[in-house]
Amino acid sequence: MKLLRIIPDDTKFPFMRFRRISYPFSAILSVISVVAFIMVSMNFGIDFTGGTLIEIQSKGGKFDISSVREQASDLALGEVEVQEFGDKGEVSLRFGLQQGGEKAQQQVVEKVKAAFEKDFEFRRIEVVGPRISGELVQSGTLGIVLAILAVLVYLWFRFEWQFAIGAVIATLHDLVLTIGFFAITQIEFNMTSIAAILTIVGFSLNDTVVVFDRIREMLRRYKKMPIDELLDIAINSTLSRTIYTSVTTALALLALVLFGGTVIQGFSYAMIFGVVVGIYSTVFIAAPVLIYLGVRVSGEAMAEEGSAKTAENTAR
């Protein structure tokens, strides 16, 4: 049987030569992401803004979305976002925080119920008060910061510090671009998105670690090889694994996007984006950092007296 091979054996793609393109390219993308985040901001869900989200489904099938919109704004509950979605007559209504503290939020549900109960089934009601949304913002931010710190510490123990820095730069790069992705696509950003971001962080690092492991192994074996050549060989020899794993992950995510329902669609899109960016950043961002940081000047190399000097020379 002929087996499938996506990546031919013995690829010799000169990845390191691309760092002069990839760094400015990533810098531009990062700037675009930051600008998009500041200028248009993200489409924050009620988890973070507070407010009320109600999903209703038409009982009779046919309905007029513009009349729903009209009725909703007639309720005088401030700005309301009305959106039709799915193919079974589903509508989502989103109201902002009401004036008057925690208690005031509850009346939104009452009023919407009264207006739509007759023709619609209530599928989902979410009310997040001002205090909870504030806390969710905190714990979401804290989670991302903690995750990066924890991974940094782990990598620092496990590898030399240059690797840890390289991995964190790559991870921050992925993070910034993912935030840009959310800002530009305007996919709703909620607690599930935080889960997506943390998974992207984990996945991107997973990929980085696999390549770094190989680089370290080769550093020990080929003490005199020029660093860019060594990095290229390391990346090329792990290339098929990188691609295969991403393909299986992407296949699973594709199934989620197509069949997983609307509730987790945003999550799945963000994850697919993250997988692609994660691979790119490992190869074109994380690995080249090692060149700039002079990875051969490591404690380990120093310990081996004879090789230390040559290593240092090569690094420069």
Binding residues among 50-109 for another protein as defined by CB under 8 A: 55, 57, 102-103, 105-106, 109
Site track 267-306 with another protein (rule: CB under 8 A), x = hit: xx--x-----------------------------------
CA–CA dist 274, 280 (Å, integer):
10
Could you say which of 41, 67, 139, 186 contacts another protein (CB under 8 A)? 139
Name the minimum Å distance from CB 118 to another protein. Answer: 14
CA–CA dist 184, 147 (Å, integer):
25
Could you say which of 264, 276, 297, 302 contacts another protein (CB under 8 A)? 264
Q: Closest CB to another protein among 127 and 276? A: 127
Classify residue 5 by burial, with Cβ atoms within 10 Å: 0-12, 13-18, 19+.
exposed
Could you say which of 63, 203, 269, 284 contacts another protein (CB under 8 A)? 203
Give the DSSP per-residue string, 291-311.
HHHTTTS-HHHHHSHHHHHHH
Site track 118-137 with another protein (rule: CB under 8 A), x = hit: ---xxxxxxxxx-xx-----
Stretch that binds another protein, among 2-10, 20-28, 66-74, 304-312 (CB under 8 A): 2-10
- The label of the residue with tokens 């860019």 reads 228
| Residue numbers 18-47 binding another protein by CB under 8 A | none
Site for another protein contains 210 (CB under 8 A)? yes
Name the minimum Å distance from CB 10 to another protein. Answer: 8
Tokens of 142: 């804290």
CB 238 within 8 A of CB 214: yes
Q: Closest CB to another protein among 36 and 190? A: 190
Stretch that binds another protein, among 14-22, 28-36, 139-147, 280-288 (CB under 8 A): 139-147
Name the minimum Å distance from CB 304 to another protein. Answer: 20
CA–CA dist 193, 268 (Å, integer):
9
CB 166 within 8 A of CB 151: no
**Side chain identity at 300, as an amino acid letter?**
E
Q: Closest CB to another protein among 33 and 268? A: 268
Q: Closest CB to another protein among 113 and 223? A: 113
**What Cα–Cα distance (Å) separates residue 304 from each residue in 96, 176, 194, 223?**
64, 39, 44, 11
CA–CA dist 215, 286 (Å, integer):
12
Name the minimum Å distance from CB 161 to another protein. Answer: 16
Task: Render the burial of 258-297: b for 16+ CB within 10 Å, e for the rest.
Answer: eeeeeeebbbbbbbbbbbebbbbbbbbbbbbbbbebebbb
**What Cα–Cα distance (Å) separates residue 70 from each residue in 60, 73, 316?**
19, 5, 69
CA–CA dist 307, 309 (Å, integer):
6
Site track 212-251 with another protein (rule: CB under 8 A), x = hit: -xx--x-------------------xx-xx--xx-xxxxx
Helix 265-281, helix 227-259: angle, nearest 10: 170
How many residues bind another protein (CB under 8 A)? The answer is 79
Stretch that binds another protein, among 31-39, 75-83, 146-154, 282-290 (CB under 8 A): 146-154
Q: Closest CB to another protein among 67 and 262? A: 262
Name the minimum Å distance from CB 173 to another protein. Answer: 16
Name the minimum Å distance from CB 133 to another protein. Answer: 9
Pick from 164, 145, 126: which is nearest to 298 by CA? 164
Name the minimum Å distance from CB 228 to another protein. Answer: 21
